[in-house]
């Protein structure tokens, strides 16, 4: 019997169509059809300047957008050959790991919900909310964040962030223990996950699978460990691996990885170079619109001479913070807003970077840079012809390889195993179809 599942099916998060050949309840063949969420990411990136690609990268893996931002920024920085300040590296790692936890929480929670464990899902979404609050505080957004910039990040950590983050991490840990108790020894969950959706390590490697999916088969490959980027080589964390490559192992690997990510965040918060973020600033807060107005009227003296605190909604921190989190490169990084509004050099610098036909111009060449995304190796391949628009932007989406191997996991199993297997794959249509 042929059975069509999707593209829009209540038991599947994300639009994808599976055409299954069934014999009774046994799956004999699967044809995976993707592309329902194709938004021409790669084509659109060729039409905009490098810095304008960030909003598009947010929409790749929309459960952990910060990792996409970081990956793209690191690739362009490799192309430009620049280094960024340590503080910015720490901030990027903190944000990446927060995103990794939110991604795993969503994956585990959603697959538990599809197997009827509604309360576990709600607990995990609650924990995700704690982390989203942290993200919101720093970036001002929750989903489509566009926080990372080429050469740094948009804004520094807010005052009191470190204490708040420690508190939230403790809260998330509590939830993880709670859900672990709810799920791991739950007969229904355990039996449905165990020995379903199996894949061998050889097959996983042959299909180019990376991330938790590969690690569940016992292969210890993590980009953060194998080719450390940012400051991952200074951090102490483990790479959890499974042994059998079934759904249960993938669940265990994800749960263990969340704990490791929380450890990484704690270490970063403890190690982060004590930048100016805790310094006591004297000076009045100037709202964005007031600043623009006074600059338009030519009242720029106070902006040059005095230390002002900016409205947090204005992109970029106060000049004093700004240097700690951005590379000191005038041809890449936007000037601080006091300079843009306060003096002619800053204004020119600003427009040289944002106007069409100007912008960041990397040298001619091509680079590939992999980072560890929540689902596996997320790599960007950028070809530059020396102009302000990228000639070619290619993203290597981790779940593409996994979806190609999905028939391997499903064939021979039962129809009902589709749900836990598909859940543990953590397919994100935005990144799969681009």
104 vs 215, beta carbon nearer other proteins = 215
Contact 309, 286 (CB under 8 A): yes
* Candidates 66-74, 133-141, 247-255, 399-407; binding stretch for other proteins (CB under 8 A): 399-407
Considering only residues 158 to 197 of the shown chain, the ones binding other proteins according to CB under 8 A are none
Residue closer to other proteins (CB basis): 115 or 427: 427
Task: Give me the residues paired with residue 153 across strands.
Answer: 148
Residue whose CB is less far from other proteins, 17 or 173: 17
Whichever of 234 and 394 has its CB closer to other proteins, that residue is 394
Q: How far is the CB of 288 from other proteins (least distance, A)?
A: 33
Minimum gap (Å) between residue 392 Cβ and other proteins:
5
Least distance between other proteins and beta carbon 45 (Å): 10
Closest to 308 measured CA to CA, from 356, 342, 270: 342
CA distances from 8 to 14, 275, 318, 372, 419 (A): 7, 49, 47, 29, 14
CB of 193 to other proteins, least distance (A): 25
Contact 377, 68 (CB under 8 A): no
By rule CB under 8 A, what string of x and - marks binding of each residue 28-57 to other proteins? ------xx--x-x-xxx-xx----------
If you ran DSSP here, which 8-state letter would residue 232 be given? G
Residue numbers 235-294 binding other proteins by CB under 8 A: none
Cβ closer to other proteins: 272 or 389? 389
Structure tokens, 274:
């004590």
> For strand 2-5 and strand 17-23, is the pairing parallel, antiparallel, or unpaired?
antiparallel
Nearer to other proteins, 377 or 417 (CB): 377
Q: Is 21 helix (H, G, I), strand (E, B) or coil?
A: strand
The residue count for binding other proteins (CB under 8 A) is 49
The first and second tokens of residue 78, run together, are 């490799």
With H, G, I as helix, E, B as strand and everything else as coil, classify residue 4.
Answer: strand
CB of 249 to other proteins, least distance (A): 19
What would the two tokens of residue 410 be? 């499903």
Contacting other proteins within 338-397 (CB under 8 A): 364-368, 370, 377, 379, 381, 383-387, 391-392, 394, 396
- Residue 269 CA to residue 306 CA, distance in Å, equals 31
In terms of CB distance, is 308 or 429 closer to other proteins?
Answer: 429
Shortest Å distance, C-beta 66 to other proteins: 22
* Residue range at the interface with other proteins (CB under 8 A); choices 91-99, 328-336, 402-410, 413-421: 402-410
Q: Measured from the CB atom, is 90 or 232 closer to other proteins?
A: 232
Shortest distance, CB of residue 81 to other proteins, whole angstroms?
A: 7
User: Measured between alpha carbons, how far is 407 from 393 in angstroms, rounded to an integer?
Assistant: 29
Binding mask 62-101 for other proteins (x = CB under 8 A): ----------------xx-x--------------------
Sheet strands (E) in 45-156: 148-149, 152-153
The whole-angstrom separation of Cα 210 and Cα 192 is 24
C-beta closer to other proteins: residue 204 or 334: 204
Cis peptide before 230 (omega within 30 of 0): no
Which runs of E-coded beta strand occur in 246-396?
285-286, 309-310, 365-372, 377-384, 392-396
Q: How far is the CB of 296 from other proteins (least distance, A)?
A: 35
Pick from 31, 35, 178, 57: which is nearest to 112 by CA?
Answer: 178
Of 175 and 214, nearer to other proteins (C-beta) is 214
In whole angstroms, how close is the CB of 227 to other proteins at the nearest point? 7
Question: Please, are residues 281 and 307 in contact by the beta-carbon 8 Å criterion?
Answer: yes
The residue with tokens 């265990």 is: 252
> Which residues fall within 8 angstroms of residue 200, CB to CB, at 6 or more apart?
217, 245
Q: Cα(47)–Cα(56) distance, rounded to whole angstroms?
A: 12
Among 49, 63, 219, 264, binds other proteins (CB under 8 A): 219
Binding region for other proteins (CB under 8 A): 2, 4, 19, 34-35, 38, 40, 42-44, 46-47, 78-79, 81, 203, 205-208, 219, 221, 226-227, 364-368, 370, 377, 379, 381, 383-387, 391-392, 394, 396, 400-401, 403-405, 433-434
């Amino acid at each position: 019997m042929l059975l069509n599942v999707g593209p829009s099916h209540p038991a599947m998060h994300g639009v994808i169509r599976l055409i299954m050949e069934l014999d009774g309840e046994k799956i004999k063949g699967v044809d995976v059809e993707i592309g329902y969420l194709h938004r021409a990411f790669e084509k659109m990136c060729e039409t905009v300047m490098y810095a304008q690609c960030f909003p598009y990268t947010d929409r790749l893996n929309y459960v952990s957008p910060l990792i996409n931002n970081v990956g793209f920024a690191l690739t362009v920085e490799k192309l430009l050959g620049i280094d960024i300040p340590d503080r910015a590296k720490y901030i990027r790692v903190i944000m990446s790991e927060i995103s990794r936890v939110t991604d795993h929480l969503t994956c585990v929670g959603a697959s538990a919900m599809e197997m009827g464990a509604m309360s576990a899902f709600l607990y995990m979404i609650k924990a995700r909310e704690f982390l989203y609050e942290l993200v919101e505080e720093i970036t001002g957004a929750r989903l489509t964040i566009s926080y990372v910039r080429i050469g740094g990040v948009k804004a520094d950590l807010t005052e009191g962030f470190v204490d708040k983050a420690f508190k939230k991490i403790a809260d998330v840990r509590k939830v993880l223990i709670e859900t672990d108790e709810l799920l791991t020894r739950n007969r229904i969950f355990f039996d449905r996950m165990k020995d379903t959706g199996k894949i061998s390590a050889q097959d996983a490697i042959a299909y180019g699978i990376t991330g938790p999916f590969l690690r569940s088969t016992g292969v210890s490959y993590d980009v953060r460990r194998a080719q450390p980027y940012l400051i991952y080589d200074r951090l102490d964390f483990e790479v959890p691996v499974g042994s059998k490559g079934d759904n249960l192992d993938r669940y265990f690997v994800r749960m263990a990885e969340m704990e490791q990510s929380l450890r990484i965040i704690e270490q970063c918060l403890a190690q982060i170079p004590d930048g100016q973020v805790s310094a006591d600033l004297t000076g009045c807060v100037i709202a964005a619109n007031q600043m623009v107005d006074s600059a338009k009227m030519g009242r720029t003296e106070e902006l040059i001479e005095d230390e002002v605190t900016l409205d947090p909604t204005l992109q970029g921190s106060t000049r004093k913070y700004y240097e700690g989190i951005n590379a000191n490169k005038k041809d890449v990084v936007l000037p601080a807003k006091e300079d843009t509004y306060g003096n002619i050099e800053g204004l020119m610098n600003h427009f040289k970077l944002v106007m069409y036909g100007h912008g960041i111009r990397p040298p001619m060449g091509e680079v590939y840079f992999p980072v560890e995304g929540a689902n596996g190796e997320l790599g960007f391949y950028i070809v530059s012809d020396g102009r302000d628009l990228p000639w070619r932007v290619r993203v290597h989406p981790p779940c593409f390889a996994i979806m190609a191997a999905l028939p391997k996991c499903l064939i021979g199993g039962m129809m009902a195993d589709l749900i836990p297997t598909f859940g543990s794959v953590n397919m994100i249509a935005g990144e799969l179809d681009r």
